[in-house]
Amino acid sequence: MINQEEPLRHYLAGPIKANKKLTVLQLKISLIDEALRKDSLLNTIVNSFYDVLALYGQAFCLKNDDIFIVYSPKISDNTVRAALIKTWMHFSADKQTMQAADLLERTYTLPEDKEALTYEISRIGNGPARVLSEKKEKKKFVAPPVFDKNQKLFTPEMLARVSKALQNTDFSNMIRRQSVCIILEDAQPQPLFEEVFVSIADLGESILPGVSLTATPWLFQDLTETLDKRVLNSVSRHDDGAFTHDFSLNLNISTILSEEFREFDDNIRSSMKNTIVLELQPIDIFSDLRSYLTARDYAQNLGYKICIDGVTYKTLKFIDRERLSADYVKLTWPPDLPFALQEDAELTERLTDIGPNRAILCRVDDEEALLVAKKYDITLFQGRYIQHLMSKNPRNRRVGTTLLRKY
């Protein structure tokens, strides 16, 4: 149990006495399923606001698990709102409560609401604390490059050579990093997670120069299954803390149902699993929907989130996020997307149906993509232009990692 009532009272005492303007946002975590309210997660949430608020605010957790975020007018409401998107994602498994997310927040404006605020703090302080369960937690069970005619075709014999070579390949010089960020109106980009991907092009040049690994789809599929297991093993053995939370893996469905994934899962702390996203390709999902449903239920029961990756506006009509019970949909930005949305009402409706804070627009390489997306209430972005915006803010720092295949 965490109880920061006294530090909160001390922090508020001076501003209340001086009638200073402050905003206090109460997050009613106490209304959420108790099984999701672990101390380690609550600490992570409180600490996440230190970077967001810097010198102009602080977050406190009281004994009933409610969190109070205090900030001055120097912090915009949109900056705090962007951070809240990530906070509420931690509790998305409590679907019934999260459908009424507006009831989980209460705003106090000081000095006007100081009596209501002090009463609420006292009410919580005099009330019961969350009782820790003595029961042990049960262990529950992009577009490929255009084929160059001067390149050689990928053959079954080459697949065997590559699969063997992968066992000893050093991925360190093939890793690229790119953040997925939350952006709300005038607020600075806030990292949701950092994508670290292994370049298939670089891998091919390292192992089989002059051969297109993606030119023969069925062989490439076999290769990615081998690569999945190699990546899972690498992440499991990572000892520098880079792969503890806030990362994503782009996997085949068969990999999630494999022994290698179970071994990977054994190395992830239970409290951090709900910060990890498993990204799946639509072609893999719809080629064997029954296996997808099995893998999805298995992964979500363990605590992982699911993202449908590699979606284009031409395939978006076939994606129903809610029916597929996915947490995110990653949509690729093409220059003709604005025209397509204007001309196709069904496409616009399908984009809206993904839901708030659930669509990630990737390959955002210029400001136009960002401006267009905001018209459709998209708040999650990824791409070179987003990296440019982040580089202008020295407070941004790495928050986690995403490891996935990039074609």
pLDDT tens digits, residue range 165-214? Answer: 777 776 666 767 788 899 987 778 888 887 767 777 777 777 777 666 66
Per-residue confidence band for 24, with pLDDT thresholds at 50, 70 and 90: very high
pLDDT of residue 217: 62
Q: How far apart are CA 361 and CA 359, in angstroms?
A: 6
Give the residue among 149, 12, 5 at the shortest CA–CA distance from 63.
Answer: 5
pLDDT of residue 131: 58
Give the residue among 86, 38, 28 at the shortest CA–CA distance from 305.
Answer: 86
Q: Once rounded to an integer, what is the mean pLDDT over residues 302-311?
A: 93
Please give the full DSSP string across 314-344, using - where no structure is assigned.
Answer: TTGGG--HHHHT-SEEEEE--TTHHHHHHH-
Which CATH number applies to 156-406? 3.20.20.450
Phi, psi of 346 (to 5 degrees): -65, -40
Residue 407 CB neighbours (<10 A): 15
Per-residue confidence band for 287, with pLDDT thresholds at 50, 70 and 90: confident
pLDDT of residue 116: 94
**CB-CB contact of 365 with 345 (8 Å):** no
Per-residue confidence band for 127, with pLDDT thresholds at 50, 70 and 90: confident
Q: Is it the case that residue 150 has pLDDT exceeding 70?
A: no
Residue 301 CB neighbours (<10 A): 11
pLDDT of residue 240: 44
Please tell me the chain's helix, strand, coil percentages from 3-state DSSP, rounded to the nearest 5: 45, 20, 35
Q: How far apart are CA 361 and CA 181, in angstroms?
A: 10
**CB-CB contact of 181 with 191 (8 Å):** yes
- Which whole-number Å values give the CA distances from 390 to 50, 95, 332, 354, in the listed order? 18, 32, 20, 26
pLDDT of residue 64: 93
pLDDT of residue 402: 45
pLDDT digit string (tens) for 244-285? 678 888 899 999 999 999 999 998 888 888 888 999 999 899
pLDDT of residue 396: 59
Q: Once rounded to an integer, what is the mean pLDDT over residues 227-236?
A: 79
Q: Which residues have a Cβ under 8 Å from the Cβ of 364 and sit 6 or more positions away?
A: 333, 370, 373, 381, 382, 383, 384, 385, 386
Per-residue confidence band for 342, with pLDDT thresholds at 50, 70 and 90: confident
How distant is the alpha carbon of residue 261 from its chain centre?
A: 19
- Strand 328-332 vs strand 305-311: parallel, antiparallel, or unpaired? parallel
Q: Is it the case that residue 102 has pLDDT exceeding 50?
A: yes
**What CA dihedral angle connects 106, 43, 133 and 265, to 10 degrees?**
120
pLDDT of residue 109: 95
Question: Fold match between 5-126 and 156-406?
Answer: no
Q: Once rounded to an integer, what is the mean pLDDT over residues 215-244?
A: 70
pLDDT of residue 243: 62
- Quote the mean pLDDT of the chain: 81
**Domain locations in the chain?**
5-126, 156-406
Quote the percentage of the chain above a pLDDT of 70.
82
Q: How far apart are CA 190 and CA 195, in angstroms?
A: 14
Q: Once rounded to an integer, what is the mean pLDDT over residues 29-57?
A: 84
Q: Once rounded to an integer, what is the mean pLDDT over residues 286-305?
A: 92
Q: Which architecture characterizes domain 5-126 according to CATH?
A: 2-Layer Sandwich (3.30)
How distant is the alpha carbon of residue 159 from its chain centre?
A: 33
Per-residue confidence band for 292, with pLDDT thresholds at 50, 70 and 90: very high
pTM exceeds 0.85: no
Q: Once rounded to an integer, what is the mean pLDDT over residues 30-52?
A: 85
Per-residue confidence band for 301, with pLDDT thresholds at 50, 70 and 90: very high
Q: Once rounded to an integer, what is the mean pLDDT over residues 208-233?
A: 73
Residue with the larger pLDDT of the pair 274 and 360 = 360
CA angle 266–271–273, rounded 5-degree value: 60
Q: Is it the case that residue 388 has pLDDT exceeding 80?
A: yes
Please give the full DSSP string across 277-310, using - where no structure is assigned.
Answer: EEEE-HHHHHHSHHHHHHHHHHHHHHT-EEEEEE
pLDDT of residue 160: 75
Give the residue among 354, 331, 3, 20 at the shortest CA–CA distance from 180.
Answer: 331
Q: Which residues have a Cβ under 8 Å from the Cβ of 45 and sit 6 or more positions away?
A: 59, 61, 67, 87, 90
